[in-house]
Amino acid sequence: MLAVGNMSATTTTQTSLKPRPMRADARRNYEKILVAAREAFAEGGAATSLEEIARRAGVGIGTLYRHFPSRQELLEAVYVDEVEAFASSTAELLELPPWDAVVGWVNRFQRYMVTKQALAGELLEYMDHSAALFGVCRKALHDSGRPIVERAQAEHVLRDDVTVEEIFQIMLGIAKIPTSEPGQRDRFVEIALDGLRYRAS
């Protein structure tokens, strides 16, 4: 797993996402709190009270604070956990034909970014864009797409002058576009993908 117990970007210079060893019972409580927090933030926003999260997880507020002494640390852990879930889910895309894998990765990443903007915005109340946490998570997201992009370029279905980091920035930009019509972002992604196709000179 990439998730890090009790990691705070304000107090660590850690450059990789590695779990701290825990006893089995502590790990179960940690995971229950993360699941409850993820669901609570999705439903009620990142301002959901820690007491509500503890109630959902079926643990006491003291247990929650032992794992996450502050709201910031819980927000960071949920953010990292969701990056891990996204990154690990993309490995199966390599079983698809190269272009289909690119389309699958781009669409998954776009949906991920749209749903995570509120959580990222809450974290930016505590830290800036250059914080180590964001850097490590960006690397994990980039790395999830790198083998997909490189294979597609080797098979000449994806233009060879684009990097995974550039695709990341394109999709991030689309995710931030305000939309009022259902499917409008999907249309933007479709247009972007057409521009990424390999065309023989």
Q: For 142-161, how does the pLDDT look when each residue is reduced to its tens digit (9 = 90+)?
A: 999 999 999 999 999 999 99
- Smallest Cα–Cα separation from 102: which of 175, 177, 153, 161? 153
Q: How far apart are CA 82 and CA 74, in angstroms?
A: 12
| Amino acid at the residue 178 | P
End-to-end CA distance of the chain: 43
* Structure tokens that stand for 182 in this block: 């259902």
Q: How far apart are CA 164 and CA 156, in angstroms?
A: 15
Cβ-count burial of 136 within 10 angstroms (0-12 exposed, 13-18 middle, 19+ buried)?
Answer: buried
> What confidence score (pLDDT) does residue 12 get?
37
* Residue 65 predicted with pLDDT over 80: yes
* Residue 55 predicted with pLDDT over 80: yes
CATH superfamily for 71-196 is Tetracycline Repressor, domain 2 (1.10.357.10)
Between residues 41 and 96, the one the model is more confident about: 96
Question: For residues 35, 41, 46 and 48, what is the CA-based torsion angle, rounded to 10 degrees?
Answer: -90
* Structure tokens that stand for 154 in this block: 């080797």
Residue with token string 């964001």: 134
High-pLDDT (> 90) share of the chain, %? 44
pLDDT band at 51 (very low <50, low <70, confident <90, very high): very high
* Structure tokens that stand for 148 in this block: 């997909």
Between residues 110 and 46, the one the model is more confident about: 110
**Average pLDDT of span 12-22:** 49
* Residue 15 predicted with pLDDT over 60: no
pLDDT band at 21 (very low <50, low <70, confident <90, very high): low
Distance of alpha carbon 7 from the chain centroid: 16
SS3 158: strand
Between residues 12 and 121, the one the model is more confident about: 121
* Residue 1 predicted with pLDDT over 60: no
Q: What is the mean pLDDT of the chain?
A: 84
| Amino acid at the residue 67 | H
* Structure tokens that stand for 86 in this block: 């996204």
Between residues 13 and 129, the one the model is more confident about: 129
Asked if residue 6 lies in contact with residue 68, where contact means CB atoms within 8 angstroms, the answer is: yes
